[in-house]
Every structure is written in C-alpha cells, then in structure tokens.
Amino acid sequence: MNPDELGVEMPDVTVESTTPEDLKARIDGGEPVTILDSRMASDYEEWRIDGENVESINVPYFEFLDEEIPEDVLDRIPEDEHVTVLCAKGGASEYVAATLVERGYDVDHLEDGMNGWASIYEAEEVTAYDGPGTVLQYQRPSSGCLGYLVYDGEEAAIIDPLRAFTDRYLADAEELGVDLTYAIDTHIHADHISGVRALAEEGVEGVIPEAAAGRGVTYTDDVTLAADGDEFDVGDATVETVFTPGHTTGMTSYLVGDSLLATGDGLFIESVARPDLEEGDDGAPDAARMLYESLQERVLTLDDDVLVGGAHFSDAADPADDATYTAPIGDLRERMDALTMDEDDFVDLVLADMPPRPANYEQIIATNLGQEAVDDDEAFTLELGPNNCAASQDALTSD
C-alpha cells in the first residue's frame, strides 16, 4: 500500500531502504536488530520476523496517518537505536519511516516488505552427506520450507521444489554444469505451491508418489508415479522411494545415496508431522497411528548415521555445523522421546498441541492436486505465512 492508497502525502525527506538479504545477514550475524512492523496486529501475530537478537514492535501504519502522531505511539519507538520499518509490500513502511525521519528517528524501511522476506532462498551444502554426489539444502527462512538438490556427474534431481523458485533451480543446475533430470515431490503439500509441474513444463521429469495420486491428482499423465522401492539414478547416486504415510496417506520419503532420507513432512529434526491436514480432526488419530508405524518400521530401522532432512524447519530447530537442518537418525532417537514411546503415548502427544492449520491450506492442496489454477502472483501470495506442518508448536527434542 503506497501513500496515495493511504490518502496521504509522502513527507519530503530521504528514506533509506534495506534489502531483505541485508536484514537477514544482520540477524544471522548476531547484530541487535529493532523492527517496527507496521502491519495490522492480526497479520503480525500470525507471522513475523523473529530471532534471539531481534526486538520486534508492532504499531499498525494507520497510527502514523495523522499529522500529529500520538505520543504513546512515538514512545514505543526507541530514539537511541536504528529501526527498520516493514509492512506487507514496502509501500506503507516507506511512508511510516518518512514520518519518523521527520521527527529525528534513525530508521530505514525493508524493500518489498514481508513479500521480499519471503523471496529469500538460500542453499547450503550438506557436508555430512557421505553418499555419491553432492546434496544441497534449499532454505526459505520466511516459512521454514526446505528442499534438496542432489547432483552427480551430469545429472541432478530436486526434491520438494517450490513453484516460486522454478527459475532458480534451472539456473543453479546450469551453473553447476548439470542437467536437472527429476523434480520430485514427497507428498501433496498443504503449505506451498509445488514446483513439480512448472519444472515438468521446462522438460524436467516430474515425479509424485503413486500413493498420492488417488487423492484426485489431475495430471498423472504428465508425471511419473513413484511406487515404494522405485529408484531414480542421478549419476552414481540413487534416490530410492520409501513409502512413509501418516502426515498424508501418500506421504513418501526418498533415500538419497543410502546416506540422507528426505522425509518431507513426516519427520523433522525438532518434531514429527501433524496428521490432520488430509483427513481432518476426525481422521487425525488413525493418521497418527499410521505415522507411528511409518517411523518405527520405515525410518528408525535405517542406520543411525543416515541423515534426516525434512521439508521444514521451525524457529525451535538448531542447524547442524554445516548450517543445514539435518540430523542423524541416531541423534534424533536419543533426543526426541516421541521416537521411543509406545503407540498410544505417541498418538496422545501428536494430537495434544497442534498449531493452527497453514493459511489457505485447502486452496493450496486443491492447486497442488491440479483441481484449481492460480497464476504466479496468486500462488506466491497463497503460501505467505508461517510453517505450521509440525505436530507441536514447540520442539519435541531435548538438548
């Protein structure tokens, strides 16, 4: 929302801006950061930029529209600290920052607002991976989405790609000198728009779990359906299909080079999956039992040194030494009681503290099934928001 849309005139002052990447670098570097979030309180409570060294203040933009800004509003904004103002898209925050510059505050505003924050997408090499080839973990800090690029020789595969970053995957493959051969989904996602079909349109072989097709997928003729035990060769690396239902009936993991299990939304390094996004509250207990069986019989039977790499991380997750959100199965077994308790206790735990369902999840699911069509801008907007795919709002791991 720009000043014209707000019905006000932009103050005649110079307002500095900061990029989302620079703001994240300051946060990651441990620098104290003060953020003035000028979105509505409901948007702020649902999703915001946090961190151990981040002080976040919410004052909606409309508090700054009058010529005389209330003193109790100004009193909330530190006069002796640098403040970064943000909004949804960057317009209202620039105006708010300008009103504060007029009054002597040291402020800048975040370019493109939370939309810009959601555009950050980083790649880290999983150095603990010791199978054939190389694995990169893609990280989207705004929503905690994770994906995996496996490459060896002249071939590559992307697991759990996001439609918003289709061009990025193709560009990265070109820079690495490999052909992106496969685009693989672990399940029908409920929190973001899958990039499998967009990559398939670019000549990449799209792969979805065979077990997920029965939910009403409309594009099965355009992709490969992966059955339990199927293997996909990426150079000398093998990506093996491991059926692990529970989060959804079609939830499928992929074992990469016998060294990393891409678990989708089945198991995270700090929690386990929520079981209610496909069958709802009534079907959640049965789905939780299905998840328990998958974890006990398909995941925890792997070697202790096999790395787990989920499709999400939360603020409660601690990255590994290589800055990736991965952890050995043996380590998770020791630190996560949910993996060693009996079935009834596991079900009770999983159902006890589930967060709100992801924003727009029903429309996102319908889009990923191919039952609804949205353009790129709408797709990006639909998936804005926090990561709510884990069963618990807090970490289930101990230090």
Q: What amino acid occupies position 363? A: Q
* Residue in 58, 65, 63 with CA at minimum distance from that of residue 87: 58
Is 184:173 a contact under the CB 8 Å cutoff? Answer: no
Q: Which of 87, 100, 207, 395 is catalytic?
A: 87
The β-bridge relationship of strands 179-184 and 16-18 is unpaired
The β-bridge relationship of strands 252-256 and 260-264 is antiparallel
Cα pseudo-dihedral 73, 28, 325, 164, rounded to 10: 70
The β-bridge relationship of strands 33-37 and 54-58 is parallel
Count H helices and E strands in the chain, helices first.
13, 18
* Residue in 84, 301, 343, 309 with CA at minimum distance from that of residue 186: 309
Distances (CA, A) of 10 to 64, 98, 111, 116, 319: 12, 7, 16, 22, 42
Residue 131: other Cβ atoms inside 10 A? 20
How is residue 306 written in tokens? 């096999």
Query: 135 pairs with which residues across the strands?
Result: 150
Is 215:369 a contact under the CB 8 Å cutoff? Answer: yes
SS3 content of the chain, % helix, strand, coil (to 5): 30, 25, 45
Measured between alpha carbons, how far is 214 from 194 in angstroms, rounded to an integer? 17
Q: Is 389 a catalytic residue?
A: no
Catalytic positions are: 87
